[in-house]
Amino acid sequence: MPPVLRFVCAVLLFATVGAGSASACSIILDAHRTSWVQRLIDWRPPEPALTPTAEVRRGIGPRPTDEPDVTYSTSCDDIGFITLTFPADADTAVGYDFEIVAGQPPENFRLPGPLRLLSRADGTHGLTLSWIDGATDRQEPFAFVLGIRTVDAAGNRSRTVTKIIVCDPGREATD
């Protein structure tokens, strides 16, 4: 095999192997949809949302390797996550709409439109909200009250807002 062809094959092989190790960060959200037919016949608001738990995971900076002066990071390192876990008996036929009731969410945090819950293997249901948090170990603290309303197929919203506190103490960069 000519040296140029060997070089091209080696580059292609290296590019293929390297591409498999760097996957994009994916967040699955299922948008809630309303039905115009349901809007014609349904005016009753749905029951309020059951209270979920909230877990916060912040963005992180590059991490060291065994090699001196070499660090690694992933495509998800700059993303902050708020994972909401609802009880097993939460209503999965409705959507969940969000609002900031009080406090200050993290910078760049935006609320999506109504979402449907995703079922989990452990029988609970949940969804994950995300924002660009910065690929750094230094994170500012935040605290806010997240309001959650259920939304039925007709677009009716629950009268009662279920409220949960979402907070994170932040952290200083480590050297």
Question: In this structure, is residue 90 part of a structural domain?
Answer: yes
Range of the domain at 161: 24-168
Query: Residue 3: its pLDDT value, please?
Result: 54
pLDDT tens digits, one per residue of 62-91 = 777 888 887 777 778 888 999 999 999 999
Question: Mean pLDDT, to the nearest integer, of 107-136?
Answer: 91
Question: In this structure, is residue 45 part of a structural domain?
Answer: yes
CA 42 to chain centre: 31
Query: Residue 7: its pLDDT value, please?
Result: 44
Query: Residue 77: its pLDDT value, please?
Result: 81
Query: Residue 20: its pLDDT value, please?
Result: 39
* CA–CA dist 83, 95 (Å, integer): 16
Q: Look at the chain and report how many structural domains it folds into.
A: 1
Query: Residue 18: its pLDDT value, please?
Result: 39
Question: In this structure, is residue 121 part of a structural domain?
Answer: yes
DSSP string, 27-78: ---EE----HHHHHH--PPPPPPPPPEEEEE-----EE-SSTT-EE--TTTT
pTM for the model:
0.77
Question: Mean pLDDT, to the nearest integer, of 20-33?
Answer: 70
In CATH, what number is assigned to the domain containing residue 141? 2.60.40
Question: In this structure, is residue 8 part of a structural domain?
Answer: no
